[in-house]
Amino acid sequence: MVERAAFVGGCDGVAAVASARLIGEQPSGTIPHALILIMGDTVEATRAFDEVIEKTVPRVALIDTFNDEKFEAVRVAESLGAGLYGVRLDTPSSRRGNFKAILQEVRWELDLRGFSHVKLFVSGGLSISDVLELTDAVDAFGVGTGISSAASLDFSMDIVEIEGRPVAKRGKQSGRKSVLRCRGCMQDHVVPFGAGKACSCPGEPVERLVEVLRSGSLVSAPPAPKQVRARCLEELAEPGNNTPITELLGI
Amino acid sequence: MVERAAFVGGCDGVAAVASARLIGEQPSGTIPHALILIMGDTVEATRAFDEVIEKTVPRVALIDTFNDEKFEAVRVAESLGAGLYGVRLDTPSSRRGNFKAILQEVRWELDLRGFSHVKLFVSGGLSISDVLELTDAVDAFGVGTGISSAASLDFSMDIVEIEGRPVAKRGKQSGRKSVLRCRGCMQDHVVPFGAGKACSCPGEPVERLVEVLRSGSLVSAPPAPKQVRARCLEELAEPGNNTPITELLGI
Amino acid sequence: MVERAAFVGGCDGVAAVASARLIGEQPSGTIPHALILIMGDTVEATRAFDEVIEKTVPRVALIDTFNDEKFEAVRVAESLGAGLYGVRLDTPSSRRGNFKAILQEVRWELDLRGFSHVKLFVSGGLSISDVLELTDAVDAFGVGTGISSAASLDFSMDIVEIEGRPVAKRGKQSGRKSVLRCRGCMQDHVVPFGAGKACSCPGEPVERLVEVLRSGSLVSAPPAPKQVRARCLEELAEPGNNTPITELLGI
Amino acid sequence: MVERAAFVGGCDGVAAVASARLIGEQPSGTIPHALILIMGDTVEATRAFDEVIEKTVPRVALIDTFNDEKFEAVRVAESLGAGLYGVRLDTPSSRRGNFKAILQEVRWELDLRGFSHVKLFVSGGLSISDVLELTDAVDAFGVGTGISSAASLDFSMDIVEIEGRPVAKRGKQSGRKSVLRCRGCMQDHVVPFGAGKACSCPGEPVERLVEVLRSGSLVSAPPAPKQVRARCLEELAEPGNNTPITELLGI
Amino acid sequence: MVERAAFVGGCDGVAAVASARLIGEQPSGTIPHALILIMGDTVEATRAFDEVIEKTVPRVALIDTFNDEKFEAVRVAESLGAGLYGVRLDTPSSRRGNFKAILQEVRWELDLRGFSHVKLFVSGGLSISDVLELTDAVDAFGVGTGISSAASLDFSMDIVEIEGRPVAKRGKQSGRKSVLRCRGCMQDHVVPFGAGKACSCPGEPVERLVEVLRSGSLVSAPPAPKQVRARCLEELAEPGNNTPITELLGI
Amino acid sequence: MVERAAFVGGCDGVAAVASARLIGEQPSGTIPHALILIMGDTVEATRAFDEVIEKTVPRVALIDTFNDEKFEAVRVAESLGAGLYGVRLDTPSSRRGNFKAILQEVRWELDLRGFSHVKLFVSGGLSISDVLELTDAVDAFGVGTGISSAASLDFSMDIVEIEGRPVAKRGKQSGRKSVLRCRGCMQDHVVPFGAGKACSCPGEPVERLVEVLRSGSLVSAPPAPKQVRARCLEELAEPGNNTPITELLGI
């Protein structure tokens, strides 16, 4: 469920093999620390990977295992050259005084030696604020825990009308309702059912409620994760959606 | 998964029928607002429930639908008398200026009229702090959202030893390890594997790590939720566990 | 004194009979809880009031005594119909989780059933911030404690000139003075007496100091409360007075 | 009313002549700045006062008008000697960087020259915190504004019982009540009327409610301010009253 | 060193005779308290100074020794008249509740009597914030402690290139560098040595690094303090330097 | 002056050669980064140092230049064995997320392999709080900037007595004084000169003021830095000096 929600919400892919299968996508990821620990050297492990793995998989070296990222990045880039797609820094938190400075230092040393095509991947306990802070210096993020426990969305099922008569418990507004989105200002309005218009602006109202269940059965099959994701990205890109990301995330 | 975790962590029961079946327990709950809304009166709905439902189910009236809890509690108690087991307040948040004051007022009115056997049940968007604040005035809590999204516990699987030689990536301590709990001071100590003692106090050390997987297979079947719950409650009751609950919960 | 100050500062009326007489105004108010408690029902009490009281007094039902405001508002409106002028919510603070939401819910239920002419009156421990927050949803406020202990205005009487010679204790500016209000920028300036102008803008200065006592006797009779109130409202409406109300109130 | 409340609450006396008459006490105070401004010198003014005023009035020089308190204190003490009862510092706030340091400096200079019998009086815009901070260095305080606008005590008159039947609006506890003060722990308990005991400690309960009105008439004449003051001081001195003063004052 | 740094950073002069000699400037200052304490009166001491000291030295009276600044300022101005250049307030902190109010009061009294030519000098434990707050009311400041312990500027000497090959320890960017200031936006950019341009705006880049040492010897004699000060003031006045002073000072 | 003050205040030694000469001490320090950068490897540079430098100098390897401290510490310890006195971590701040964790990790790896005799030295932009936080995990600190700009101690020279008559400006206590330290409670008391006792406890008072200048000449030669340092450490160790260090440092 966690991987499905992350993918549906806009992530590019998921790493767990079983999760990827369940949502109908190819899993993606990079070399694990285990390979480097067992082979004993970052460059050797990356060359072994390069030798064995099919050529369609981009070569991303994991450069934080034994040595400092700055020197490993240069070593691995000098060894693989144009074939190196990116480097991944999973820098442990105890070595991360100013992660952005480390990333800019790696970028400087790679660029100074002609490797500006090498992308920077970052992972390891990243929070939303980390991503917002580092995004200028980084080409891709690998996020796990930080995305895995979103706050619950509270909702309840309530009776608001009985055989045409509006009725609701204290604290709930009675009567059947429409949720109209105004195409002009992109605001949603809750109005008595059948009220054709709720907005003072000239935009056209669109009913947002759709029938999902009828007499206890699904009206149609639920969409695939890929489709939900596409719709989510579409809605985020709608011109009326100009809330700053920090506000959406509540930070 | 949410219901399982809540039960395992010490909750007395769960309300969703499917969840209860999956963890091998009987579901439990009270009258819904729907019954009262359809019958139109709290006392009538409670009497109908009392007439029809088997006698082993305790009678708990839901008293926040139409009228103020203070008067409904008295009405329903005067109607059912000794047969009333408890009243449940699902008071909407817009009416909850000082929920403890409302509960104490209901308690006062019930006691003044001789219904001190009637228990108070509370539900509706309760947070941990609400429970801690109200616990003196309440006999049972119904909690949903507030318990359904605990913070993720961050962990990772790391290679720390290869064929007897300690090795670990930067930021991890190398070598196989023991986690010893001292029976004297109830502290846990991470020590090199085989170190028999880690504590300066005279307590006896107990190894806390157990083998779960061997060559990829489970060593034994996992315990039932009921057993995990029992062990969890046992550990919370251990004499050394005197951390205040607010600290355990990080609030 | 409290009622006089409230009236002079802009309140529409006062409820205490003796206070109203002292400031030369008619007292005003609504049905008390006592009547409803004694008759035992809000609708019955309101109908009795409607039957007995002269028709010039607007019918304002007090709807928070026994039941939830949402259902009582609908009941009393359906009983009195067009004759109902308003409803008053003296909702106890323990039931006031989100008072604005309660008011909007009452408004929704009244409007949904065709009673949009019924006004909402609010009372009960209201502070200045409550009034500022609720003002969009409310037609009139009844305020007591919140308005009854304004901060003291500190002032002192000092000798600043003796027979034409400027003299003052440490911490006081010596010499007779004028307080000039500039009609251009509406600022007040303290200047040596007789200085005709104090402001760099082209506005005309007006002396604000008036003689009140001469040789220990009042120069003229003090104005009636109604007159002081009129002048206070006039000054608040002056175009230069654009300080936000929150700043005037020091909140 | 302000002076009456201050006196009743424990102040030693009041300065306004009319107020003192209304509460049946002698007014008290010191030389005003006006005398010193008119005579032009602190020592001269104090000597004139000493010459003219009856001997029963203690000689308290006001030493902040023209010069620094440190030098004026020494000058006036050297001039009046044993006859000087005290000096009063009404130091303007613009000169009061560290008022305690000024007071200690005046004390040092007076003591160094043998005037340790001269008392220090302090006045001028003193707040409660000022009094708490300066109290070690000062013999008496003159307070005006800081004591003149205490927060209102909120109360209301409610019907809680009608012909023996408990009844009350939402938010109020119904039924006639006793307020019992336990002589053991000095706590007050609100209990149903006639409940003889409310406290788990072995202390004896004392009813705190007394009848003031019967059928609209006062049962007995109200006590004189002097008597109310005496009772207030007595209650503050009761052994159970060990709440710190800062908490009583809400600061 | 302290006086040199203060002068170089823009101060108009220094008071210590030895320091002034070392930086090649004339020392400057005012009458000390010692003179007034010994002569026993501010006006007498100022007149004595006026009689003896060469006429090129401006007459600045020190007016806080014995009496309140307000009265001393008037006394000394009436005694010296047009010959008085300024008054200095070294008001002790215990008398400095609202220093700006004291200064405005002195200004008012001097102006009221025709001494608007007399300047106000201020000294005594002034912090940066004091200077920013008082600057409208003051003609000159005498600052000691507040300017004598600026935060250290952290720097280190690092090898970044060895015989043309870029090399640097972890945390440092390798390779010889230029620091280019863009004449368009006045920003400084650190770029690889020889990179002619670093800025996206059309401004012309200027190299900021200059050779100071060659083979261990100074390339040219260091500039005099007066020259460093001139350049410092020039840079502060550059049009691109529009950072608010509070930000520059880190307050 | 900075090095002198640091040494006098209790530091064990100073690194700058010229400073050490001026205070009459031997300079002390470790291998610089320059040597490792030029030789290209930490172990090689440390072995070269070990080969060339006299045996009385302890061998302290600098382990943060190229690789991660954890692996460099093990490499250098395995190469020098018992001859290695300590390792120094000058870890750059961008790699210092949790410096204590890095130090504990280095300690764990060294101990696991039998090098518990190797000491940990730490340097690089350390503040007082860093030292207090790391002190359990570290054997010696190298501090520069953090100790080089202590807050100025404010003092002034004032006339307080003229030919036996006490006189002082406003804000200063007049008269010659003694500073008595009570041997009982170790408090210092400022008292009029000749007052033999100032303390209510039975401790014996000791005069703390000593004559330094007589008629403008030094009474005796000032003590050597070593002697001042000894006295400073002695005073810190006095039984009465139990102020916590955080309070002494004002943090």
pLDDT band at E154 (very low <50, low <70, confident <90, very high): confident
Percent of chain C with pLDDT over 70: 95
Closest CA to A36 of A103, A108, A88, A110: A88
Give ipTM to 2 decimals: 0.80
* C120 burial level (CB within 10 Å; 0-12, 13-18, 19+): buried
Three-state secondary structure call for residue F1 = coil
Cβ proximity of D47 and D34 under 8 Å:
no
Q: Over range D188-214, report the average pLDDT.
A: 86
For residue A96, which residues of chain F lie inside 8 Å, CB to CB? 95, 97
Are B105 and D175 an interchain contact pair (Cβ–Cβ within 8 Å)?
no
Mutate to test the interface with D, among E70, E93, E95, E109 (most CBs of D within 10 A): E95
Which two structure tokens, joined as six digits, stand for A236?
């985020």
pLDDT of residue D250: 62
Give contacts of A198 with chain C, Cβ < 8 Å: none
More confident residue, E7 or E184: E7
CB-based burial, A13-27: b 16+ in 10 Å, e otherwise? ebeeeebbeebebee
CB E80 within 8 A of CB E47: yes
Are E84 and E118 spatial neighbours (Cβ–Cβ below 8 Å)?
A: yes
Count the neighbouring beta carbons within 10 Å of the beta carbon of residue B64.
Answer: 26
Cα-based torsion angle of the residue sequence F28, F34, F40, F43 in order, rounded to the nearest 10 degrees: 10
D28: Cβ contacts below 8 Å, ≥ 6 apart: D12, D13, D14, D15
Q: Does A161 touch chain C (CB under 8 A)?
A: no
With contacts defined as CB-CB under 8 Å, which chain E residues touch A71?
Answer: 170
C96 shares contact with chain A (CB less than 8 Å): no
Q: Alpha helix locations (H) across chain E?
A: 2-8, 17-22, 33-39, 42-52, 69-80, 99-112, 128-134, 145-148, 225-237, 245-248
Backbone angles phi, psi at A8, to 5 degrees: -60, -35
Q: In angstroms, what separates the C-alpha of D37 from chain C's closest C-alpha?
A: 7
- Report yes or no: D67 at the E interface, CB cutoff 8 Å: yes
Is F78 within 8 Å of F113 (Cβ atoms)?
Answer: yes
pLDDT number for residue D107: 96
Asked if residue F92 lies in contact with residue F123, where contact means CB atoms within 8 angstroms, the answer is no
Please state the φ and ψ torsions of residue B82, each to the nearest 5 degrees.
-60, -25
Contact yes or no for D19/D3 (Cβ under 8 A): yes
Secondary structure of residue A120 in the 3-state scheme: strand
Reading across the β-sheet that carries A86-89, which strands appear in turn? A60-62, A86-89, A119-123, A140-142
- Kindly report the nearest CA distance between residue B178 and chain F, in angstroms: 14
Alpha carbon distance E167, F66 (integer Å): 10
Residues C109, A173: C-beta atoms closer than 8 Å: yes
Three-state SS at B69:
helix
Min Cα separation E171/chain F (Å): 5
Q: Check whether D148 has a pLDDT greater than 90.
A: no
Question: Between chains, do F171 and E94 touch, taking CB under 8 Å as contact?
Answer: yes
Q: Mind listing the pLDDT tens digit for each residue in D42-89? A: 999 999 999 999 999 999 999 999 999 999 999 999 999 999 999 999
Touching partners of D (3+ C-beta pairs < 8 Å) = B, C, E, F
Q: Which of residues 100-119 of E touch D (CB under 8 A)?
A: 101-102, 105
Say which residue, E239 or D35, is predicted with more confidence.
Answer: D35
E68 touching chain C per CB within 8 A: yes
Tokens of A66: 């034994």
Alpha helices in F66-213 (DSSP H): 69-80, 99-112, 128-134, 145-148
| E192 touching chain A per CB within 8 A | yes
Q: Which of A37, A93, A161, A167 to mutate to test the interface with B (most CBs of B within 10 A)?
A: A37
How large is the C-alpha radius of gyration of chain E? 25
CB atoms D159 and C65 under 8 Å: no
The number of angstroms, rounded, from the C-alpha of B94 to the middle of its chain's C-alpha atoms is 26
* B and A adjacent (3 or more CB pairs under 8 angstroms): yes
Q: What is the pLDDT of residues B151-163, one digit of tens each?
A: 778 888 899 999 9
Q: Which two tokens stand for residue F127?
A: 């503040």
Test D95 with E105 for CB contact under 8 angstroms.
no
The type of residue at C198 is: A
Which residues from chain C sit within 8 angstroms of residue A166, using beta carbons?
A: 112
Using the beta-carbon criterion (under 8 Å), do B173 and F108 form an inter-chain contact?
yes
What was the pLDDT predicted at F146?
A: 87
Segment B186-212 mean pLDDT: 87
Check if the beta carbon of residue F173 is closer than 8 Å to that of residue D113. Answer: no
- Answer yes or no: is pLDDT of B214 > 80: yes
Between strands B205-207 and B177-182, the pairing is antiparallel
Q: Determine the residue among E170, E177, E189 to mutate to test chain A binding: the one whose Cβ has the most chain A Cβ atoms within 10 Å.
A: E170
Rounded CA separation F108/F192 (Å):
60
Average pLDDT over residues E69-77: 96
Q: What are phi and psi of B245, to 5 degrees?
A: -60, -35
Edge-to-edge strand ranges of the sheet holding D188-192: D188-192, D177-182, D205-207
| Chain D interface mutation, best of B66, B99, B105, highest count of D Cβ atoms under 10 Å | B105
Torsion of CA F9, F14, F19, F23, to 10 degrees: 50
- Whether residue C166 and residue E112 make contact (CB cut-off 8 A), yes or no, is yes
Chain B environment of C105 (Cβ under 8 Å): 94
**Tens digit of pLDDT for each residue in B100-137?**
999 999 999 999 899 999 999 999 999 989 999 999 99
What is the C-alpha to C-alpha distance for residues E194 and E178, in angstroms, rounded to an integer? Answer: 7
User: Which chain C residues are closer than 8 Å to A175 by Cβ?
Assistant: 112
C235 pLDDT band (50/70/90 cuts)?
A: confident
Task: With CB atoms and an 8 Å threshold, state whether E95 touches D96.
Answer: yes
Per-residue pLDDT of chain F (251 residues; tens, 9 = 90+): 889 999 999 999 999 999 999 999 999 999 999 999 999 999 999 999 999 999 999 999 999 999 999 999 999 999 999 999 999 999 999 999 999 999 999 999 999 999 999 999 999 999 989 999 999 999 999 998 888 877 778 888 899 999 999 999 999 999 999 999 988 888 889 999 988 777 888 889 999 999 999 998 999 999 999 999 999 999 888 776 667 777 766 66
How is residue F246 written in tokens?
A: 């955080």
- Read off the DSSP letter of residue D67: B
Give rounded-to-5 percent helix, strand, coil for chain D.
40, 15, 45
H or E element in which residue A60 lies: strand A60-62
Neighboring chain F residues of A105 at a CB cutoff of 8 Å: 94
F-chain CB neighbours of E16 within 8 Å are none
pLDDT in tens for each of the 251 residues of chain A? Answer: 889 999 999 999 999 999 999 999 999 999 999 999 999 999 999 999 999 999 999 999 999 999 999 999 999 999 999 999 999 999 999 999 999 999 999 999 999 999 999 999 999 999 989 999 999 999 999 998 888 877 778 888 899 999 999 999 999 999 999 999 988 888 889 999 888 777 888 888 999 999 999 998 999 999 999 999 999 999 888 776 667 777 766 65
Out of A170, A174, A192, whose CB is closest to C68? A170
Touching status, chains E and B (3+ beta-carbon pairs under 8 Å):
no
Measured CA to CA, the distance from residue B205 to residue D186 in angstroms comes to: 51
| pLDDT for residue D130 is more than 80 | yes
Q: Rounded to an integer, what distance in angstroms lies between the CA atom of residue B127 and that of residue B135?
A: 12
